[in-house]
Copies of this chain bind each other. A is one copy, B any other.
Amino acid sequence: MKNKVNIGLIGWGTVGSGVVRILKERKKHLSRRVGAQLRLKSIVDLDINKARSVKVNRKILSREAKNILSDPEIDIVVQLIGGEHPAKDYMTNAFKKGKSVVTANKALLAKHGKEIFKLARENNAEVGYEASVCGGIPLIRSIKEGLLANKIEELRGIINGTSNYILTRMEEENYSFNEALQEAKKRGYAEADAGLDISGLDSAHKLAVLASLTFGTSVALSDIYVEGIDLITLQDIRYARELGYAVKLLAIAKEKQGRIEARVHPVLISADYILASVRHNFNAVCLKGDKVGELIFYGAGAGQLPTASSVVSDICDIAGKLIRGGKGRVNSFLYDALSKKVSPINKLESRYYVRFTTLDNPGVLAKISRILGRKNISIASVIQKQRKEGRTVPIVMMTHKALEENMRRALGQIDKLSVVKGKTVAIRVEEV
């Protein structure tokens, strides 16, 4: 039996350094648990001179990925570089040499998952990607193995810490969106360019990975409807609270009658619901299985050591399979690939929170209601409080269930009314 597993690390950045540290610090413990020595044989990075927090033997350092990819002794390639290129080439080269890959690159998996997992399977290689979604939370493993008796019907999660931090600070400190964003940057919860996070795109990358695994079909990034939190105002958060809701950016995927819904957008969720208590930069994912019911996983969604913790658990998992003679393994990702169709957002049925900005004239409400009524949208409640003669006032409505395409058409018409000043805000209500 194999008693040593050789690891090559491509990408010696923040998470990479965390992995090196854990492999060193927990060497004895991990070897005992895996049943073989885990040997970090080679590290590749463009910059091998910058000081890192953990010392390594300089002999294992180099700048050339081929030193890992062409080394027949290396069993597992831990690839922690971002972007598509050269990440994808490295990964496919590794598979072709029969090496397994552990990665945190969600964007790559979201865009090329189908091709990547197919190639891995053809080469009998494993892909470890626990670290690609929700940092340190053992979510992928739980879905793949812990819940395999279940047909998972719904998945909804707070999977972008930056957005959740901003929304929490707006709600708790009455900050404007921009104040909260600046604070998030100052505290290191948002990068200088927070566009990927607040636009919802980062959540969409992760949702593509999670939904594909959960429903056993390839959910492409382009199949996912995406809205970010950049249009959420403090005013809407306050109205939501008054109505008994919290505003959260959720990634949602559901299977209904063989069709998949996959979308990322802000929602109103009941303030009582446990996801509403997820504060700051934490992540939480709720799954509903037909056998197990509702499960929630909560934890740090990013950060050096939480993410490295997931990378190391994948290394150990694959190493364990290798030493036990892992031929004929089953890679669950897309294995069941059933080519389920993804429903377009237009066909979504939802309740809506809608805020109109109107002139305070008699008959405004009647005009708006008439248009909504014609589109089969019925109103559950209305709030209209501040009255300032001749100025614009907000009218807030909660609707009953309506079809997204009807709502869009209605709002298109309403926003053209001369009494309506400013774009109407509509936020979907997520029933839990």
Q: Write out the residue numbers on chain B whose beta carbons fall within 8 Å of the beta carbon of A327.
A: 324
- What CA separation (Å) do A324 and B305 show in the bound complex? 32
A222 at the interface (CB under 8 A from B): no
Q: Is the CB of B145 within 8 A of A295?
A: no
- What CA separation (Å) do A35 and B332 show in the bound complex? 11
Taking a contact as CB atoms closer than 8 A, the residue among B149, B297, B320, B329 that contacts A313 in the complex is: B149
- What CA separation (Å) do A149 and B23 show in the bound complex? 8
- What CA separation (Å) do A1 and B149 show in the bound complex? 24
Q: In A283-336, which residues have CB < 8 Å from any B CB?
A: 284, 289-300, 303, 305-306, 308-310, 312-313, 316-317, 320-321, 323-330, 332, 335-336
Q: Is the CB of B149 within 8 A of A32?
A: no
Q: Write out the residue numbers on chain B whose beta carbons fall within 8 Å of the beta carbon of A295.
A: 136-138, 297-300
Q: Is the CB of B146 within 8 A of A142?
A: yes
- What CA separation (Å) do A348 and B135 show in the bound complex? 34
A119 at the interface (CB under 8 A from B): no
Q: Is the CB of A292 within 8 A of B277?
A: no
Question: In the complex, given contacts A29-B336, A141-B145, A294-B299, what are 4 additional A-B residue pairs having Cβ atoms less than 8 angstroms apart?
Answer: A26-B149, A35-B328, A323-B328, A324-B326
Q: Write out the residue numbers on chain B whose beta carbons fall within 8 Å of the beta carbon of A308.
A: 149, 291
Taking a contact as CB atoms closer than 8 A, the residue among B297, B316, B328, B330 that contacts A1 in the complex is: B328
Which 8 pairs show the lowest CB-CB distances between chains A and B?
A: A138-B146, A136-B292, A149-B312, A296-B298, A295-B299, A291-B309, A291-B305, A149-B309
- What CA separation (Å) do A329 and B34 show in the bound complex? 9
A278 at the interface (CB under 8 A from B): yes
Binding site for B on A (CB under 8 A): 1, 18, 22, 26, 29-30, 32-35, 130, 135-138, 141-142, 145-151, 272, 274, 277-278, 284, 289-300, 303, 305-306, 308-310, 312-313, 316-317, 320-321, 323-330, 332, 335-336
Q: Write out the residue numbers on chain B whose beta carbons fall within 8 Å of the beta carbon of A136.
A: 289, 291-293, 295
How many whole Å from A7's CB to the nearest CB in chain B? Answer: 14
Copies of the chain in the assembly? 2
Q: Write out the residue numbers on chain B whose beta carbons fall within 8 Å of the beta carbon of A300.
A: 292-295
- What CA separation (Å) do A34 and B328 show in the bound complex? 10
Taking a contact as CB atoms closer than 8 A, the residue among B291, B298, B320, B323 that contacts A274 in the complex is: B298
Taking a contact as CB atoms closer than 8 A, the residue among B32, B130, B325 that contacts A146 in the complex is: B130
Q: Is the CB of B324 within 8 A of A148?
A: no
Given contacts A299-B295, A299-B296, A300-B293, contact A313 B274 (CB under 8 A): no
Given contacts A306-B291, A330-B35, contact A317 B145 (CB under 8 A): yes
- What CA separation (Å) do A49 and B296 show in the bound complex? 39
- What CA separation (Å) do A290 and B136 show in the bound complex? 11
The residue on B at minimum CB distance from A146 is: B138
Q: Is the CB of A313 within 8 A of B35?
A: no
Q: Is the CB of B274 within 8 A of A292?
A: no
Q: Write out the residue numbers on chain B whose beta carbons fall within 8 Å of the beta carbon of A35.
A: 328-330
- What CA separation (Å) do A286 and B294 show in the bound complex? 17
Q: Write out the residue numbers on chain B whose beta carbons fall within 8 Å of the beta carbon of A323.
A: 328
Q: Is the CB of A316 within 8 A of B145?
A: yes
Q: Is the CB of A145 within 8 A of B299?
A: no
Q: Write out the residue numbers on chain B whose beta carbons fall within 8 Å of the beta carbon of A277.
A: 272, 274, 277
